[in-house]
Structure 1
């Protein structure tokens, strides 16, 4: 889902899609978030002297995106009938292996799909912009979601063609290849050869896709990633305390990104009552202040705390408040994506007030202390 097309990954290129925080088993939250049973076994093992060495070794491999291969008991197995909507408060799967050299990590849980991404970016000169070097993204779709329509659109964009009429290249899902986890699988290559997609149906009309961008030996790498996918439904955890919202707000998206061995930003997206589609009407969350991309900077205060506001066009706006208690160098953000979201929150003053009430958990850098949604 997150690829090198700049119109699709604008947010990912201007912010971090971020690396794993260090500091223990929970540091690899992206790969094993919510895996309480594994953490319990580790805590028991730490009580023994021999396990100290094992835990230390695990801390090294965690930074490389590596976990031991799953045993049959670890696998819950995919659902036999996929839902038409996922619960964004639940993480559906984890990965036991990702290739080296992709230090940035992201988790995106939506009602229509869920992704885990790993990427390497290169800065663009002295700007805050970055360009994608290579990436691997695993996506699980809800029943009826047409991932391949988006892939075909990107294929057409890459080749300079409009998405009309027959295409002169193979269309997704692509050629039949060896099964993945017992399911018929397919491999698709984009017209320019940059994107390789391994896919299979985990349930009728519901797909898993593993997409590599500029990945060497892509077919081999993507299959190894796919073989290490473990279905493991667990509560998704975030470093944001609950905050009162207007009645009727519904969670529709949860995103966490890591960079430089620590979480970098967290966003929770909500829909107003009566909203259609799957995109959020407004978002709130936390961000490392050094990742601010506001062009206006601080332009006000709220209760003595620095604030930045941007009231944009057609309901888009962003309201940020710094000096977050208990989270040095952090700020709280609230943004509206459309007029219904802006109206639902009560306008700019109410949105800024909501940002001022957002708080981090007691120790946001200790992922074991993060709260379940």
Structure 2
């Protein structure tokens, strides 16, 4: 799952006292991309076999034992588009500044929810509140791919997705041919479902968590979520900051937001990230978006006006707009502590750029604590 929280959580620094965690996000992203490419050949063979099964589709291949109703409800409305009308087809590219993914139902028990948009996919998901550090990665992931993108674009490491999953035909999802991604060690399981949510456009739901104590329960959750997924009229992505000047003219390649029901790894209530590429950049599906241009990352830790991650961030060595800040020696990263009560950072992952100058074009909202009051990015 490609969330800001996941990227932060895997950081490993030689010198934690002098290196910000936002830089570590980039290294983790590179490792994720390399792992996906390494398994692409194997995945292509699996997918080809799975698609062939559609011609002989027979309903009822998933767990057929009755399961009790599962508690749940609607996701955080900040992270998904409100349903207005069903799209007749998917676009060949998504706009990272516009949400069109609607998820009508999720199981209870998600302690964090997140959403991410790139030109090639939209994702919604969250970690299960029962997750403990070092334990199994449990939670929900919903991903819709843009039209004409192959199923090999799906991450092989989504929450709830079995390792070495085997595709088997199952009952249609909203009338569309679908397949279970079963756990080969659990015959009849269906913790993940993949289907064509629109012509030549694929979606996938995977789930493992407290609402799926048995394979049948996990399958029921995955199916109910899948049947609630649609593309709808686009809605503006809102952020706790706006962009001006040079940054306003740059191309947005990725937006990511995570909101916690309690607190994140560093006590944060939420985090929000935007990835920007030079104006006019045309990104390709093979591009590593975490290595293009620059990122702006903002998080809020309630009760801590600095937001400084004490075991990660370097000691302040400068000031920015009157606030204590840490600036990398080469100037390619800056973290500002306390502006609007947040921890806000700008960084150039390729090592080329003046982060302090770029930060001048980031305008934090005066009162960003409530995500429902955020504003359009630009």
Q: Indicate whether the TM-score tops 0.5.
A: yes
Matched, 1:79 2:88: yes
- Residues 268-287 of structure 1 correspond to what in structure 2 (within 5 A)? 268-272=274-278, 273-274=280-281, 276-277=283-284, 278=287, 279=289, 280-287=292-299
**Cα shift at 1:331:** 2.2
Structure 1 segments unaligned to the other structure (5+ residues): 16-25, 36-73, 125-129, 160-168
- C-alpha RMSD over aligned residues: 3.6
Aligned partners of 1:153, 1:132: CA distance in 2, in Å?
12
Normalised to the residue count of structure 2, the TM-score between the two structures is: 0.65
Match of 1:331 among 339, 343, 367: 343
Contact kept in structure 2, 1:13 and 1:131, CA below 8 Å: no
Contact kept in structure 2, 1:296 and 1:308, CA below 8 Å: yes
- Residues 1-373 of structure 1 correspond to what in structure 2 (within 5 A)? 1-2=1-2, 9-11=6-8, 28-30=76-78, 32-33=80-81, 35=82, 76-80=85-89, 82-120=90-128, 122=131, 124=133, 133-148=137-152, 150-151=154-155, 171=166, 174-190=167-183, 196-213=191-208, 215-216=212-213, 217-232=217-232, 233-245=234-246, 249-260=250-261, 263-272=269-278, 273-274=280-281, 276-277=283-284, 278=287, 279=289, 280-288=292-300, 290=307, 292=309, 294-310=312-328, 317-324=332-339, 327-328=340-341, 330-339=342-351, 342=352, 347=353, 350-373=354-377
Aligned partners of 2:293, 2:360: CA distance in 1, in Å?
19
Paired residues, number: 288
User: For residues 224 and 154 of structure 1, do their structure 2 counterparts lie closer, same or farther at Cα, with a shift above 3 Å needed?
Assistant: closer
**Cα shift at 1:251:** 0.6
Contact kept in structure 2, 1:362 and 1:369, CA below 8 Å: no
Aligned partners of 2:115, 2:256: CA distance in 1, in Å?
6
**Cα shift at 1:98:** 1.2
Aligned partners of 2:147, 2:9: CA distance in 1, in Å?
26
Contact kept in structure 1, 2:80 and 2:124, CA below 8 Å: no
2:138 aligns to what SS in structure 1? strand
User: For residues 247 and 94 of structure 1, do their structure 2 counterparts lie closer, same or farther at Cα, with a shift above 3 Å needed?
Assistant: closer
Between 89-98 and 227-236, report the one with greater CA deviation: 227-236
Residue of structure 2 equivalent to 1:38: none
2:76 aligns to what SS in structure 1? helix
1:365 aligns to what SS in structure 2? coil
1:88 aligns to what SS in structure 2? coil
Aligned partners of 1:291, 1:322: CA distance in 2, in Å?
6
Residue of structure 2 equivalent to 1:53: none
Contact kept in structure 2, 1:106 and 1:258, CA below 8 Å: yes
Contact kept in structure 1, 2:148 and 2:200, CA below 8 Å: yes
2:107 aligns to what SS in structure 1? coil
Contact kept in structure 2, 1:109 and 1:253, CA below 8 Å: yes
Deviation per CA, 1:81-110: give whole Å up to 9, x if none. x22211111111222221122110101011
Contact kept in structure 2, 1:185 and 1:200, CA below 8 Å: yes
Between 91-100 and 280-289, report the one with greater CA deviation: 280-289
